[in-house]
Structure 1
Amino acid sequence: MNDVLITAARVLTGPGGEHVEDGAVLVQAGTITAAGPRTAVEAAAPDGIARHDFGDATALPGLIDCHVHLAFDGSDDPVTALQDSDDAALLEGMAERARRLLGSGVTTVRDLGDRNGLALRLRDAIAEGTLPGPRILSAATPVTAPGGHCWFFGGEVEGADAIRDLVRRNIDAGADVIKVMATGGGHTRGGPAVWQSQFTADELRLVVEEAGRAGLPVAVHAHGTAGIEAAVAAGVSTIEHCTWMAEGGGFDLREDLVDGIKAAGIHVCTATSPNWRGFAERVGHERAEELFASMRWMAKLGVPMIAGTDAGVTRAVFDKFVNSLEFYEYLGFPPAKIVDMATGDAALALGVGGEVGRLAAGYRADVLVVDGNPLVELDALRRVRFVLADGRVFGAER
């Protein structure tokens, strides 16, 4: 790990755009020991510490992508690519994709489904410093129905005993979160329709209870409104996608369920692809706007939202997180709120809010430095100058 002193024109020190001008961050033994005005932080720094002075730049917490699939390669057919790869080749590809995430300023990811626990192995190699990459929170094998969404990851179960057994196996393997496919989805040929439920509320509640015994959160993939209703009733931690789809392809927006989401403290991760503009071109702008309007509706009603890319699925690459963040700008979110969604808000939602997501004493040293001011223009997040992940400098200063 690197002991470093970082100075920049702006240092983001809290939510809502809170920052100091002419600031600094002091990192020692992988932990932030001071962050604030440059003169005060410099006074706390030991003599001879390595310095990185960035001038008109912004230091902020490393970004958090709340929804990725490292086992997918983002190609036109990621499922076939997965099935054609043995575990050794797949793990090698996952490591390269993790490296791309880190290079773009993402220092924490939540991986929501892989094969044979490979993301757990990669997580541990990165944590040990053997490989470069972001901190990984892994769901290991996602829970799905026989022939259900993403069955090819190996998590097909039916009935209470089988559900409990898979959750326990994931816990024993070291999973950080439990993932359940509550409805159908894309990328599963011959599987249920995206709006179609795969589990009842009681079955989801069983998952929540079993995971809760181990202190683990539960993330539920739910496109259909019926699946969203079951997830809310079960008391899950996050709902992924949350597109409010009804049988036949329409939308069924229910304010009572939004009230339930807010009351339960559930966060929604829309998992918007970096290629969301291309999605609108493919399905038609009218259809896309219907979907986008449902996201805007949730935000207006105060649903807590966090940012993810679904990186790995078709055309969702691993180094374009800012493209996905620009979706929220399109919805009308101010840049400061979007930065929070990708840092502190995300950390709290994923259960690591006391460790990452802020530049403050006692937090892990995940620091991103970019040219310009992302509180004014999100595009600044593309101009990466420096990445520090868990106290380790990644790549050369740019």
Structure 2
Amino acid sequence: MADDPAPEALPFPLYLTHDLPGVGGEWKQTPEDFLVEEIPAYLPSGEGEHLFLWIEKRDLSGEMLLSRISRGLNIPSSEIGMAGIKDRRAVTRQWVSVPAKAEGMVTSLESDDLRVLEAKRHRNKLKTGHLHGNRFTAMLRGVRNDPVLIEAIAHRLRTAGCPNYYGEQRFGHDQGTLALGEQLLRGEKTPADLPPARRRFLLRMALSAVQSQLFNHVLAERLADGLFSQVMRGDLMEVLPAGGKFIVADPEVEQSRFNQQETSITGPMFGMKMRAPEGVPLERERRILARSGFGIEAFAPYASLMEGARRALRFLPHGLTCELWDESDSPPADLSTNHSRSTSLRVSVELPAGAYLTVLLREFQKPEPQRGGTLHESDTLDEAE
């Protein structure tokens, strides 16, 4: 960039579809407005010392679900396994593992807001990150009735991918979690200042918030400079879907692979062991880190909590479909036809682990920027760890 603005000059979000107006709308008026189905990394084999439960819950948080299972099966919560924690205000389906010894008590879990749809044994306990992603269906109420505009936004997202921002509540209420992370890295606070019982959890969340904010700034600058979909020499690429990484030596060759959605450009999750790009991409990342007020050496005391990694700058919204509904909840309207009474938009999509549905929905809505902690988010905790 010719100028070197302060981070505040590039607020989240900068939209990929910035030249297209939004359709507005609100969501999560009822749990049924948000449907989530986990895409597991593997299915239970049918034998073993663990019992996998395919569970449907309605308007229950992850903590509530753990408590309900723990009490109902008379087992400690530490023996319950989940690949990811799902949003409360939604209808969600996911696998949960429990010890096989509890098999005879599974029916006791059934209630109006919790159903066990399947139970099958497996050899290992389910752990965080044992998922490929999630299938989402979200209903936006009160949208602008413009099927041509909606399809134009959807087409661009399918073609270019969606900016892989971290959602705002990653940074805490009024960005308090982010502020704590910055204070720790600048030496203004130490771990000893945090409550002992929650120290490791708070450290992990706060430091992760700083990594996420710096990643968002790298992504926002590439969008602002027209480089979101342009492969540069020295970029560190990720092969899809395997995740192998390599440095770009021939931008022309790699641009073709990127355009065919075989690869994605990556951005930094800063840490002492993070693999860095080269050339101009490296200079851009270093400049953003320098603007933060601390250098990479500030990460050293927390190396065990933030080793560093790379994150794709985009995610591909597989199977993205958009359907307009009229006020009487009749069958969805085909976007090729204008229906004057259509006021709701149903968006269905499969997203990889770690991607934020709200980031994709904002490309359609174009809401006013909000501070952290203001949105309900199912996929914030569904990142592979």
Q: Please, what TM-score do these two structures have when normalized by structure 1?
A: 0.25
Structure with greater Cα Rg: 2
Q: Please, what TM-score do these two structures have when normalized by structure 2?
A: 0.26
